[in-house]
Structure 1
Amino acid sequence: MKNKKLVLSVLSTAVVSSMAASAYAAPDSGFYIGGAVDKYYTISEFIDQKETAKNEVLQASFANVVYVHEDGRAAKLEEIVDEGSLSGALRQPTADDFEDKYTNAATGEEVDPKSQLDPVEGDLKVESVSAINAKKLEVKFGAAVDVAEAEDDTNYLLTGLTGIAIDDIQYDEETKTATIILDNPIPNGTTFALTIQPIPSKDDASNKTELFTKTLTFSDTTKPTYVSTSYPEAGVAELKFSEELSTEGTVKVYDGASEVTGLSISLKSDDASVLSISGLEVNKDYKVVIVGAKDQSGNLISPNPKEVMIKSTVTETVPPTISAIKAKDHSTLEITFSEKLKKIATSPDKYATVTVDGTEADGTQTFDEETNTLTVDLGTAAPSADGVLSVSVKDFKDLSNNAGAEFTKAVSFVATGPVLKSTEVKSISGTKYVVLTFDENIDGTTVEGTDITGTYVTPENVLKNVDSATIDETTAISVTDNQLFLDVSGLEAGTYTLTIPAADVVDGDGNAAAEDVTFTFTLTASGDTSKPEVVNVYLPGDTVTPISATAGRNEVYVEFSKEMGASALDEANYKIEGRTVFEDAVFVGDKKLVKLILKEGAITISGDQELQISSAVKAENNVALDAYAEDFNFEENVKPTFVSATLVDGDEIKVKFSEVMNAASLEDDDDFEVIVNGIKRTVSKVEAAGTAGTDDDEFVITFSSALTADELANGVIQVKLVADSDATDIATVGNPVVGNVTKDVQK
């Protein structure tokens, strides 16, 4: 990753730099190589083992290598490359820079750099921005920030990336790091900028980071490599790679010389650097061959193909046991085990067979690996009333495939209502919500539209009431499973304390909450800094959804995600394949929809062409659109012309057009006049020259009173395409013919 020559130059500078005393406690100087390497080199040892160390640096990736200077300052190699110099990148090291343990390359002793650091209270700022790979950016904050604001995509603006947008943002409170996940990979050699709006502190909404902008140049030509194999459970192998993969390519598993089929092979959904292979026989050797695996930048695995020997060895033979069974309510059981369980079925996931008084539970099962607790939705096995019933649990296995003994216990079932577990402010698709999570699913029909009351205190310390004028409960509340979403977009900044009546918070069995549900949250003041996006483009003949109308000839509609400014009406900001082809632009309906008018004849050939919209187009909040470029099938808009007329029989004339015409528009017999020696003859029929009713560029006109020999020899015969002809070509919205044209008939 990054420019290797620059890094090698930086390393040379580092190892010969002058010594200086450290101004604060810092790890020993040298190179801390993390990732899958986890080694520490003193500067002298790095020089002595230069080739080995250099290869380990490249294997670990520059984001996982920290250089600590003699003066105690430090920088990751990735930061040095981004900065372009060693001196500009050095800073005070933090615990986040290092992994927990390294091995001294010279002595083999364990090294703990974090223990050598001074405890540092982080500043409320954006400390760094870096690219983890082609689809992930990492933003590190100096202190804990508000989770909802850190995960709000409107607080992040990407410029310089075409066709790439933010797909998701995940903030880790422990590491104070936001990971930005993009919908498409960044091409190598791309320079772009990320602007981060002020983000409030977790503890004080009035204290915010400063506006931050970082320009990055992304390049990744490092090939991914196989690192190691682990076995999370019996019959499952997980192959770890040096970075996330975009595709595993072709994976074959062999038992000796025979290919093994029926295995489940895929990249893990939560960690694309891990290839999971399940369905293996335990204590058996297999060979895995991987061909064509690629990272997010399209770099092929090295070597390619890669062969790995795997074996799921099982020696643990102690079966799992059950320590507790508890009924949360009539419909849910919680069963605690002595260890982790493996799934005995999928789609849906199943960990054990559970029966209540002989009826098998057929609802969903989820397993918490931290507490070894299985939560079972009883489904049709749920009792209809309070009581003590027999619960049996069997068919469960631990990760080593050891089967547990069937367990039966008398369990007391008592109906209880939902209990609020957490409150979170979260931005979802640009809309801000308060998300209430309960311990069980709640009934949306009883709570949607309920009366929410309460108070809030503004940043100026003014107490105000909340009522239906503040929150429109009929539209602001929605429910999905065990979560209630309250739309709070547009509400005034402040700290809110709201209450929902207990009777309206009901589970699927009709059990209401034991008491009113009261929750508190804080909203911060923030202007609209979100960037506009192109939602849709409508071509001639398309149904323009926002106005329920059909786009006419030469009309192209562009629908934006937000109200746009005057720059959206500058037709020069819209081009097709770099050409200025539009002559007018107007808002239609509202300022989100722009109608563009194509210049006559601007599109000469039908086919896929790129519509380009300049980043000079801005929304009403003055935030610019990311430069837009997408391919569309534009149809030509050149008006057809009447080319020639030829006599083919005594009463028939064949006319030719510049292009294929719509047969129905000409065969209505009202587009032509046949004139012989200045006198009109009646046109009785017009048909396509090939097959009647078929679109063609030639048509035959039949007229009354066939020509006499004298008229044929000496007469002046003409065909006129009338001025008000409604004939068109075959475009979706037909281009009208150029009318009021008279041609002499060739004899």
Structure 2
Amino acid sequence: MKRFIALIMVVMLLIGIMPASMAATKTAGEELRDLGLLKGDTYGNLMEDKYLTRSEMMVILARMLGEFDEAENYKLKSTFTDGNNHWAERYVAYAQMRGWTSGMGNNEFGYEMKHTAQQAAVFMLKTLGYIADTDFTWTNAFQKATQLDLFDDVDVEPAEDILRGDLFRVMMRTLNTKMKGETKTLGETLGIMGTVPLKIQSVKANGLIQVLVEFNANTWADEDALVNVDNYIFEDQDGDELLDMNDDPVVIDDITVNDKVVTITFEEPVEQQAQANLTIKEEILPVEADFDFNFFDTKPPVATSAAVVGKETIKVIFSEPVNPATVSASDFEVEDGDMFIRGVNLMNNNTEVNVELYAELEAGTIEVAVGSGIEDFAGFKTSATTFDVRVVVDTTPPTVSGYKDVSKTGVTLIFNEDIVLTDDYEASSSIYHTNGSNLAAPISADDIDGKELKLNFASNEMPEGNAYLYVLADTFMDLWDNENNKLTILVKVAADEVKPTLTGISVIDEEEIELIFSETVDEDSAEDLENYVLQNSSGSELEDMIDSAVRGTGDDTDTVTLRFDEPLLGTYKLVVQDVEDLSGNEITKVTRSFTVTDMTDPIASDFSAKLYNPDADVQIIVVRFGEAMATSGKYAVNDLEKYVLEDDDFLSELDDVTITMIESNKAVEIKIPEDSLDLQDDQSYKLEIGRVADAAGNYTIAMVNELTIDDAGLVRVESAELVSSTKVEVTFEDRLTSIDNSDFVVYADENGDNGYDADEKLTVTRVSSSVNSDGNTVLTFTLASKVDTDAKSVDDGDDIAFAIIDQSSKNQYNEVVEEYDNVLVDAAPPEVEEVYFINSDEILVVLTEELEGGTFAPSGKNGFTTTSGTLDTATKYGDRSILLTSDEDESDFTINTNVYYNEAAGIADLEGLMLESFSKTDALEQGEDL
């Protein structure tokens, strides 16, 4: 079970003699004391001019992470030898046990040593929900905290000892900073600023198909989040998906809110005594929380009430959802059977049954009996129950008593009684908002559930603020045949200021994925291909791979389907930006990873076969399948019985024939002695292969797959790329077993003739060889001198190219490399050429190639931070430079200012290759005024 960590920021300061300040303007420490977060020493002194010790920081951390009681009552000793009955020894021992500290070395902790700003930064980030080694590291913790403005009014270097007063100012800033990924600040989350956060009173099952979640209040920050199925995750006790009775993952069918209780109903019930865990996301609660509970149904369903709701209809309400398969007209009896039942209709998640009669009811009292045959999903049956129900003839038309689930795209109207459509309903005129042209989508029977009517305005959105809905007369009637008068309903559509988020990526197949957003997205921005960037697992852009983006329709307008030009396989990254919701809120640029597994059946057209060493003592046939294949089981490719040469030569029946898996199980090597079968050169042999499967278990549709066996050929270049200013990477389509470096040259095309000339050759200091995941050779050439990272020469801008000028290198079958001469593909991200100190207000970062202006925010720091100066903006300057400017009201830059860049900001070159994180910590070069 995940742990729900309550962050409690209370600091106990134990030693001091300074009196409390009586100044009118309170210090940060005094503000913290007023909030109940600070006590001071025995006399209330805050000692803001004293330094914080390492011991005191362990106490602070224990309180901030909600583990102070455990630390205070911890009985074991630490391994540190310098405790000497120190007052904080138990807290230090607990911190060591929890892995918060490992001491200072030599088995000493340093109880009274001063604490640094760097260490304080780490702890403040943790209170805001940031995770060490995921969101920040020890090295960049102070930099990250500075980016969040936690140290804005504190003049301290990372390695400096921090004063108590400085820590208090940092704490106040932390309290007023939003939690990671949240709209609330830490202070609001802790409940000491703003409203008290929501809490869960209880989570319990109602039968085997419903879960009731009771909150401590019904003042929701975002009521729409309560009915969003993505905000609830059901798992079993092992952390796997919770399964229903059909062994399928449970699917939430409906979520309703009644006062402080949220009722979650599944499509199918779960097993009796199933142990479950419900995670409720931070979109609902201040901090994500999870709760264990059991589906242990020991009580039969109870018919709790019955009432006449129409001239021919009686509604019976049950205490829990009942199994529709067990409900029939025979389970009910009206007036001892004198009134015949036409049928029954379940609604409201199977907790209500409308019993429909043939005859009309008259004023008075009738007897309604519920039999003992109706079951819940645990198989418990109802007890026979009888109700005396009063019949009061209703002559008033139905009216709207309220609404829920309102957004610009729709609303659910709640009537004062059950309704049905009349024959006068016209989809082209009966229901609209604002004016007659803003029609609701056509209503079907599924849109009416007893008293509730779900209206869809996705094609004609309602305005924010006051929206007037109009329902023409005689569109609906109640179950007494009373038709509605013309209705005008004022619906308040809240202004949407919340950005959409990408909540998930679902892989449909190798060429299609579905993006799931937190809300309906604008069709134009959602279908703009420029808003999506596909990258490989290393973050390099895969250009022109996305073929189309299509937003869903109907209930799926929060989804976008991306199709690719080529099949994907493996792990990828997708960058999503500039997608808007219907209110124009733009998504924060996000990068998400997803993995595509093999879902495609192998087909013979993707197979190939080659014959090596014909007429030799041992002849070799290599069959390549294009993907990893099954090596065991019914459809294993290393089964000789699956291979037949023409003229019915079954290879399994020939003497001394062997088969071996090669090339990472993507190919087989079949060795055939000449004495068993003499294969000739320049013959067009056919090879038949029985049904085989790939490593993922997908198998060929055809039972027999026929190939033509080709003669040996050449080893081709798959790609040749510049990967940095000094490295060229060449990938071949096969593995080379003999490599002659003199076959290869890297050159600058100075003559501009798109071909290699001897005087154009660049000096290569090293050639290294490796094998990629496909089993193919990759050669990396290290250049003696840098070239520009746009694959051009530094001085003249000539294309950098790769050529194969001789053919001595070959694979294990003596196939030599094919001649090749082509310019390099630019796969090198921009690099820092130099960082110049211009003056006290300006620093210029010069890169090796032109930058894409669209990857910069119009203003802001764009991933840069500085020390010994207050950075204001970092913006594009010219084609390939970035200008850093200081805040005129704060400290100035110096030639010794440190400059840092975080690649998460996404600054990229014209090919979309992102500038990598860097730091410049030695003295800057002096530059000229701009």
Higher strand share: 1
Short-chain TM bin: 0.3 to 0.5
Higher RCO (C-alpha 8 Å, min separation 6): 1
Q: TM-score, normalising length from structure 2?
A: 0.35
TM-score by length of 1: 0.41
